[in-house]
Structure 1
Amino acid sequence: MKLFRILGLSLVVAVTGCATNSSTQDEQWLNPPMAVPLQANVQYEVQVARLTQLLQRSDLENDVRAKMHFERGSYYNSLGLRDLAQLDFNQSLQLNPAQPVVFNQVGQYFTQIGDFDSAYEAFDSSLELDPSNSYALRNRSIALYYGDRIPLAIEGMTRYYQENPSDPYRALWLYIISREAGPLDAAIALEKRYQARNNDWGWILVALMLDKVSEEQAFKAILASSRDNTVLAERLTEVYFYLAKRHQVDGNYPAAVSLYKLAIAQNVYDYAEHKYAFLELTKIFEIVRAQQVEQAKQEAKQAETNKAEAQ
């Protein structure tokens, strides 16, 4: 893909360790940096089997059974089996509805499948049970964003950001959501937050969003600091997601689609960036489909006009 020509130098040096002829470098098709996609955790699979066996017992109290369903659902989630996880979360809540953490998980599932009203209800239940649940506050704000309820999303994400202004991921999501209401103001605010940054690795993602570092520099930083394959997969999931988001807001949909798919391909199921990449792809496909329908209407209208004029 032409998109990845800009990554040429960093890929050749950092991944393959060999150089290419500079006169032909721009004409080559180069692969993007990838970790070995994360595989199913054997320990998680063992825990699923153990909990499944224990849940067959008839002498379990409801609270204990509810906890086991939640634990098994969490393992299913980490293994990428979100529908099985949802079944367990629902069973857990039926046995014990006073579980804010479980409602938060249920809300994320509904967000992923685009059932936003159910997601809001789940997150509201989580926050009613535990008003200090920051994860539910964040995830509800993201759900509101994807559900096109931008003012409420900004309000919630602002609260979430203010709890820890030094967190680059909070700054990123506040920017992503706020730019829907005012791109320039959102960029200025993110710039100020970036200038006050600490040494957290995530600020390189902010720098990438602000175009303060090149894509080549970002990938070099990742490859240089990620000796462990799991860490590499996690960081590539993040950088591909936010880089895709930057291309998306610029209207470069082909690049965004490719990058979202790369974020998904790392198999980091627990990361929000992996989960929401599917939603972003859906949004892009809907936009492109709408544009194609509109273009077809315009072409049909023009054809009728040309026919009438010819007569």
Structure 2
Amino acid sequence: MSRQIVRALAVASLLTLSGCASMTSQPSQQMANLILAEPEQPTFRHEIELAKISDMLTKPLNDDERAVLFYRRGALYDAMGLRTLARIDFNRALEFQPRLADAYNYLGIHYTQMGEFQYAYEAFDAVIELEPDHDYAYLNRGIAGYYDNRDDIAEDDIGRHYQAQTDDPYRVLWLYFGETLSSPERALTELRKHRQAIAADDWALNIIDLYLGDLSERQFLKRMAQQLAEDETLSERLCEAYFYLGKFKQLQGQHAQAMNYFKLALATNVYEFVEHRYAALELSRSREQVNAQQAQP
């Protein structure tokens, strides 16, 4: 993943920031705590590699070699946010080598983002058939189940992913989301239990504490840019932070504010993060709720 030095900008003065003007509940104070980062940009290395692969694909190759090159180029397109080009290349890769599990995994993620859940399930099923121990295929199929409101798939698959590493706060969070489909109260109780396994110095613990009500939104906003790891950019941190803030507001029924946070997550351009992948889908869902509320007499 691309790593670059980014700088933070306080946006208290940027009152015209798109979408933020609709915030309620002391908007000026909330905006004073918001942070923006320079959006991630494609690296020179990615662009050179794309050119080399495209050149190699014009030369005589066997099917396996051609499949690997199409897959690699698709992964690069995906990392740069060129999802349509990525899907074309993943499908081309599978034409030459139908047993590329990771190509199916990418396609399943893309179908989930598009709301094509049946195609997503078929793609993830293919991954699991080819590689039964492919851990992320279960997470991704569980996420598809979550967005498809299939609590059975969401809880079972995300739960399996969680059990492989119970001290991972992001696995804990997605398990919480999956469990909210059947019982929000039970999900919150389980979240507090699962919190105990997470290291006290893990920054993502702040996200969980926000959901548990042990940390205020204002406190969370102030901590967003703290404890950056050596290999972590501010853009990556903010992509995560704003996505989970959006989910927090969404679960509270505050969909207009959730939309603003999802927009901020998308603005980071951290295309490879799961939070960026689904921020657009979440934004669409919250917008539907806002429109429905506005349509009520």
TM-score range, shorter chain: 0.7 to 0.9
Cα deviation, residue 28, structure 1? 4.3
1:269 aligns with 2:266: no
Q: Is structure 2 residue 50 aligned with structure 1 residue 45?
A: no
Structural mapping, 1:113-192, within 5 Å: 113-192=114-193
Contact 1:41 1:79 survives alignment (8 Å): no
2:96 is aligned to 95
Asked if the contact 1:127/1:133 (under 8 Å) is kept, the reply is yes
Give the drift of 1:195: 2.6
Name the residue aligned to 2:283. 281
Q: Once superposed, what is the RMSD of the aligned Cα atoms?
A: 2.1
- SS of residue in 2 equivalent to 1:169: helix
TM-score by length of structure 1 reads: 0.82
Contact 2:225 2:238 in 1 (8 A): no
Structure 2 Cα separation of the partners of residues 266 and 92 of structure 1 = 29
* Other structure's SS at 1:223 match: coil
Residues 124-158 of structure 1 show CA distances to partners (whole Å, capped at 9, x for unaligned) of: 00000001111111000000111111122111111
Contact 2:139/2:158 (CA < 8 Å) preserved in 1? yes
Does the Cα contact within 8 Å between 2:256 and 2:286 map onto a contact in 1?
no
CA gap 1:103/1:221 in 2 versus in 1, 3 angstroms: same
Q: How far, CA to CA, are the matches of 1:104 and 1:161 in structure 2?
A: 18
Comparing 213-222 with 82-91, greater Cα deviation is found at: 213-222
Q: Tell me, what secondary structure is at the counterpart of 2:61?
A: coil
Q: Which residues of 2 match residues 298-309 of structure 1 at below 5 A?
A: 299=297
Going by fraction, where is helix more abundant, 1 or 2? 1
Determine the structure 1 residue equivalent to 2:64. 63
2:225 to 223, 226, 234: 223
Shift of 1:288: 3.2
Opposite residue 245 of structure 1, the aligned amino acid is K
Per-residue deviation, 1:235: 0.8
The residue identity in structure 1 corresponding to 2:80 is: L
Partners of 2:255 and 2:289 within 8 A in 1: no
- Relative to structure 1, is the Cα distance of residues 172 and 181 closer, same or farther in structure 2, using a 3 angstrom cutoff? same
| Distance in 1 separating the partners of 2:127 and 2:43 | 29
Aligned residue for 1:225, secondary structure, equals coil
Distance in 1 of aligned mates of 2:160 and 2:226: 35
Instruction: Quote how far apart the aligned CAs of 1:246 are.
Output: 0.7
Amino acid in the other structure paired with 1:171? V
2:42 counterpart letter in structure 1:
A
2:215 is matched by which residue type in structure 1? Answer: V
Report if aligned partners of 1:222, 1:232 keep a CA contact under 8 Å in 2: no
Residues 70 and 89, structure 2, Cα contact 8 Å, conserved in 1 = yes
- The Cα offsets for residues 71-130 of structure 1, whole Å up to 9 and x where unpaired, read as 011111111101101100000001001011110001001111111110000000000000
Q: Specify the SS of the correspondent of 2:87.
A: helix
Number of residue pairs matched by the alignment: 273
Distance in 2 of aligned mates of 1:254 and 1:288? 6
Amino acid at match of 2:273: Y
- Taking structure 2 as the reference length, the TM-score comes to 0.86
Partner AA of 2:134 in structure 1 = N
The residue that corresponds to 2:245 in the other structure is 243
Distance between the aligned counterparts of 1:263 and 1:112, measured in 2? 15
Residue of structure 1 equivalent to 2:84? 83
Aligned to 1:72: 73
Find the aligned partners of 1:91 and 1:196 in 2 and give their Cα distance.
Answer: 43
The 3-state SS of whatever aligns with 1:85 is helix
| Residues 1-31 of structure 1: CA deviation (Å, up to 9, x unaligned) | xxxxxxxxxxxxx966x9xxxxxxx684745
**In structure 2, distance between residues paired with 1:187 and 1:268:** 29
Report the residue type matching 1:108 in the other structure: I
Q: 1:292 & 1:84 partners in 2: Cα distance?
A: 37
Identity over aligned pairs, percent: 39
Report the CA distance between 1:217 and its aligned residue: 3.0
Q: Distance in 2 between matches of 1:90 and 1:196?
A: 40
1:203 to 177, 181, 205: 205
Call closer, same or farther: CA 1:227–1:174 in 2, change over 3 Å. closer
CA contact (8 A) 2:9 2:37 kept: no
